[in-house]
Amino acid sequence: MNEIFSIAGKTAIITGGSGVLGSNIARGFLQAGAKVFIVGSRQETVQKALDELSPLGTVAGSACNVLNIEELKQVKDKVLNLWGNIDILVNAAGGNIPGGTLTTEQTFFDMKVEDFDKVVDLNLNGTVYPCMVFGEVMAKQGKGSIVNVSSMAATQALTRVPGYSVAKSGIEIFTKWLATEMSLKFGDKIRVNAIAPGFFIGNQNRAILINPDGSLTERSQKVIAKTPMRRFGDISELNGAVQFLCSDAASFITGISMSIDGGFNAFTSV
Ligand SMILES: NC(=O)c1ccc[n+]([C@@H]2O[C@H](COP(=O)([O-])OP(=O)(O)OC[C@H]3O[C@@H](n4cnc5c(N)ncnc54)[C@H](O)[C@@H]3O)[C@@H](O)[C@H]2O)c1
């Protein structure tokens, strides 16, 4: 493989590394020779992911609330003690929460503000705070790559998920904002980008997309109808884009959001 696409030897923190997307990105990173530290909300699920990932390479992890600056600083210290630097941060912690999705019968005016606040907090601040704590290490090093996780809900209105949409839209502008801040103040070796995954079946969207009998819900039939490739993504199809953005091959790319969506964002379905 051409060396500029390599992430071998780099150190990476993946928040949400115990989740569907994050653990898959971690798997891809390990297979590519990077060292990976995963962060998740619960120790049991982090341990389960570590058990699965450790045969693939150098991996460590711990439970940490991405909304808690002190806990994030403890992770930063652990990673610096282990490996001495942080080359990559992937912010994959997040997702919708049950109360954050309106039922088909509900309207905006039935929305519970506590649920709205929770989902916005997790999906926006849950990326901003890790960028503050781990990004500061990159600023001091003068190099690093951050990849945030946006969504199809960021740029087009998806029904029923108001809080999630607002937060992911925030991720898009925050990615541009932080990319600008890092390059202007800390140099051209620190890059901040986002991926915007289309539809992949994960824990937090399974119920809204797949019926208990395994058939597609009405909503997921609409998703497929608006996806020119006529299918959901396979989780492994995120890895090429994330690794590219973290490699030297992307050395002049910062502030972008890359859709990985089978054409969903490009298509009006007319
Ligand atoms: N699955 C999809 O189709 C899809 C599409 C677009 C975007 N995304 C985004 O990708 C990201 C991951 O989604 P997923 O499908 O893997 O979800 P998931 O539920 O499988 O994983 C979520 C991960 O986030 C972690 N997490 C949640 N709250 C946390 C907290 N407070 N502190 C630390 N960790 C926390 C969980 O422990 C878990 O590791 C989310 O941002 C989601 O919005 C998913």
Q: Ligand 1, from 15, 20, 147, 152: best to mutate by most atoms within 8 Å of Cβ?
A: 20
Q: Ligand 1, from 13, 15, 21: best to mutate by most atoms within 8 Å of Cβ?
A: 21
Whether residue 164 lies in the annotated active site: yes
Tokens 């945030």 sit at which residue?
148
Which helix (DSSP H) or strand (DSSP E) does residue 196 occupy?
strand 190-197
Which helix (DSSP H) or strand (DSSP E) does residue 111 occupy?
none
124 and 214 within one domain:
no
Name the pTM for this structure.
0.96
The rounded distance, in Å, linking the Cα atoms of 256 and 225 is: 27
Ligand 1 centroid vs 244 CA: distance in angstroms? 21
Q: Where are the alpha helices (DSSP H) in 100-150?
A: 113-120, 126-141
Q: 211 lies in which domain range?
A: 204-232
Ligand 1 centroid vs 226 CA: distance in angstroms? 23
Task: Determine the pLDDT at residue 4.
Answer: 96
Task: Determine the pLDDT at residue 270.
Answer: 84
158 and 39 within one domain:
yes
- The verdict on residue 264 lying in a domain is no
The rounded distance, in Å, linking the Cα atoms of 22 and 42 is: 14
Query: What residues does ligand 1 touch, defined as CB less than 6 Å away?
Result: 15-16, 18-22, 39-41, 45, 64-67, 92-95, 122, 126, 149, 151, 197, 199-200, 202-205
Ligand 1 centroid vs 122 CA: distance in angstroms? 10
Evaluate whether 228 touches 262 at the Cβ level (below 8 Å): yes
Task: Determine the pLDDT at residue 152.
Answer: 96
Ligand 1 centroid vs 10 CA: distance in angstroms? 23
Tokens 């039935």 sit at which residue?
110
168 and 210 within one domain:
no
The rounded distance, in Å, linking the Cα atoms of 229 and 222 is: 13
143 and 91 within one domain:
yes
108 and 15 within one domain:
yes
Low-confidence ranges of the chain (pLDDT < 70): 1
Task: Determine the pLDDT at residue 94.
Answer: 97
Evaluate whether 253 touches 191 at the Cβ level (below 8 Å): yes
89 and 219 within one domain:
no
